[in-house]
Amino acid sequence: MTNEQVEIVKRTIVRIFPPRPEGSSEMIIQRYEKAKTDAAKAFGAVFFPRLFETAPEMKELFKDPDKTVLKFAETLPMLFRSMNRLHDTLNTMQELGVTHWKAGVKLEHYQPFLSALLWTFRTMMGDEIFNEDVAKAYVAVLSRICGIMCNAAYPEARGISDAETSQAS
Ligand code: HEM
């Protein structure tokens, strides 16, 4: 994962999850909260059908997808923004890995989840924006995040390699 790949991911993810606005007035915050919720719902409407179609066994893990997607849509861009200063969020990612393990997520769930995620990003951004370099950047950054989560949650694992998550289709 290079700094350039992190920048690519940070620059493009705002097309799906709106960036935090500059101002802090109540109106700006309210508008942002609404845009954030709408974006999370729009993402969930593409992601979950794809995930459950390609990995139906995953359905039972998601007790409340509508709620989960709101948290996911908040957490993922936050992690992306922090990838240049990993030490700040290392703990968060490790804890997230353990939380997932407690929620019943297994190591083998990561690959289908990532494939559905990459497919969703490509579908929502379109091939022009989500081109080969952008896809590679997402694979690199997501592999790093999931590698940290998995190493914390499954001590026997050595993380997820780029090759294992490179199936964006
Ligand atoms: C990119 C890495 C991931 C991030 C950033 C992420 C983020 C999150 C967040 C923030 C939550 C909510 C936790 C809470 O309630 O406090 C969550 C829940 C959950 N995630 Fe992930 N996740 C990731 C990968 C995965 C993977 C690979 C799976 C595999 C299936 C997964 C399955 C779940 C499940 C089952 C829940 C709980 C859902 C529920 O109770 O309804 N996540 N995730």
Tens digit of each residue's pLDDT (9 = 90 or more) over 31-67: 999 999 999 999 999 999 999 999 999 999 999 999 9
Closest residue CA from atom 2 of ligand 1 = 146
Dihedral, CA of residue 48, residue 158, residue 163 and residue 91, to nearest 10: 50
pTM for this entry: 0.91
Q: For the chain, what are the domain ranges?
A: 3-16+24-165
Task: Decide: residue 8, CB within 10 A, 0-12 exposed, 13-18 middle, 19+ buried.
Answer: buried
Q: Is the CB of 70 under 6 A from ligand 1?
A: no
Tens digit of each residue's pLDDT (9 = 90 or more) over 108-154: 999 999 999 999 999 999 999 999 999 999 999 999 999 999 999 99
3-class DSSP state of 15:
coil
Substitution candidate for ligand 1 out of 67, 75, 100, 108 with most atoms within 8 A of CB: 100
Distance 29 CA to ligand 1 centre (A): 25
Return the structure tokens found at 7. 């920048």
Closest residue CA from atom 43 of ligand 1 = 72
The CATH code of the domain at 3-16+24-165 is 1.10.490.10
What is the residue type of 105? V
Distance CA 154, CA 14 (A): 31
Distance CA 35, CA 41 (A): 10
The distance in angstroms from the start CA to the end CA of the chain is 21
C-beta neighbour count of 126 within 10 angstroms: 10
Q: Is the CB of 135 under 6 A from ligand 1?
A: no
Which residues, other chains included, contact 151 with Cβ-Cβ below 8 Å and sequence gap of 6+?
94, 97, 157, 158, 159
Rounded to the nearest angstrom, the gap between the alpha carbon of residue 54 and the centroid of all alpha carbons in its chain is: 17
